[in-house]
Structure 1
Amino acid sequence: MGNLVFDFTVDKATKTVTIVKEFAAELSLVWEAYTKQEILDQWWAPKPWESKTKVMDFEVGGRRFYAMVSPEGQEHWSIQQYTSISPKTNFKFLNAFSDKDENPQLPGSEWDLNFTDLNGTTKVHITIYNESLERMEQMIEMGFKEGFTMTLKSLEELLTNLSQK
């Protein structure tokens, strides 16, 4: 398999973060890991935090409302509003932090996730556009790169375990 690609680029001029990650797993399994609540909640938070989904309707116009929960029980809520879905190739959503009652803190960010089958390996190309440079800088200062890198490592381990079943 060799080395799998992992690239994380921040472009302040375009207010965009680009993440490219290859996984040693079949496309259908990687797609499910990003789109099924029971799998998402196993990896969509940097350890020791956990992801807890309250609502998930993976359809255009649907949403995922979830919290990242610290070991002490501190909750950080977010809403993902799905705007476009092309099965097993692409989906897009608007993401905003929110309170526990689903009141969004705008502006948010636009996520565009592309999935490519590379003969048994899957490439995920994520573009995150922020309306506001301030919000993007806040995300970066909060440790988004380190946190998301840890999160993708958790996904990689989970996919290895799921692939062996």
Structure 2
Amino acid sequence: MPVIDSHQDTEALTLTFVAEFDASIERVWQVWEDPRQLERWWGPPQWPATFEQYEFTEGGRCRYYMTGPDGEKPRGWWTITAIDAPRHLEFDDGFAGEDGEPDMSLGTSHAVVTLGTVDDRTRMSVVSTFESAEQLQQMLEMGMEEGMRQALEQIDGLLAGAVRTGDTSSTR
């Protein structure tokens, strides 16, 4: 089980996940850097992601949608704000409208991803910071904590070369 800790801090307005993987930092970095690998784990198993735009550079825009079990397609966006490969990534994150452009009605969050080595394993922390306690609570009520935990749990299979359950494509 890769996720070793998750916690919310309502004073700091953060939701933090810590996971460990039996792979090098460089290999774990690839699951962020390569949009096809990212698609295989970003989102819970029953909500696979498709990245329509992925500019993995500082200032880069990323646009994606998730496909739900009933065919619904909620959209999201990132703007990458910092990259220090292979150890550090930051991006602003939010929901998008049907056109893929940011929908600010639910606010934005800022994610900081950090990779390090602990006992021959790679430890990854993902810290999301929210604009307000209300926004953090709304994301928790929408299932963000469980969804992110499920998403991160899929990385082990990806690192081992497995495909997403129900995925018949060798390119996803």
**TM-score with structure 2 length normalisation?**
0.87
1:73-106: CA deviation from partner (whole Å, max 9, x where unpaired): 2011111100010010101000011112133222
For 1:122 and 1:21, locate their aligned partners in 2 and report how far apart those are by CA, in whole Å: 8
For 1:71 and 1:16, locate their aligned partners in 2 and report how far apart those are by CA, in whole Å: 29
1:17-49: CA deviation from partner (whole Å, max 9, x where unpaired): 111111111111110001210100111110111
Counterpart of 1:37 (choices 17, 35, 38) is 35
For 1:128 and 1:5, locate their aligned partners in 2 and report how far apart those are by CA, in whole Å: 16
Correspondence list, 1:60-99, <5 A: 60-99=58-97
Moved runs in structure 1, 4+ residues, more than 6 A? Answer: none
Q: Post-superposition shift, 1:5?
A: 5.9
Unpaired runs of 5+ residues, structure 1, are none
Q: Post-superposition shift, 1:59?
A: 0.1
In the other structure, the counterpart of 1:149 is: 149
Correspondence list, 1:16-165, <5 A: 16-106=14-104, 107-118=107-118, 120-161=120-161
- Percent of residue pairs bearing the same amino acid type: 28
For 1:126 and 1:48, locate their aligned partners in 2 and report how far apart those are by CA, in whole Å: 21
Change in Cα spacing, 1:24 to 1:131, as seen in structure 2 (3 Å) is: same
Q: Post-superposition shift, 1:4?
A: 5.7
Which segment drifts farther, 101-110 or 60-69?
A: 101-110
Unpaired runs of 5+ residues, structure 2, are 163-172
Give the alignment's Cα RMSD to 1 decimal. 1.6
For 1:134 and 1:61, locate their aligned partners in 2 and report how far apart those are by CA, in whole Å: 28
Change in Cα spacing, 1:22 to 1:73, as seen in structure 2 (3 Å) is: same
Letter aligned with residue 23 of structure 2 = A
Q: Is the 8 A contact 1:27 1:120 kept in 2?
A: no
Q: Is the 8 A contact 2:3 2:17 kept in 1?
A: no
For 1:86 and 1:112, locate their aligned partners in 2 and report how far apart those are by CA, in whole Å: 11
Letter aligned with residue 148 of structure 1 = M
Higher strand share: 1
Q: Post-superposition shift, 1:60?
A: 0.4
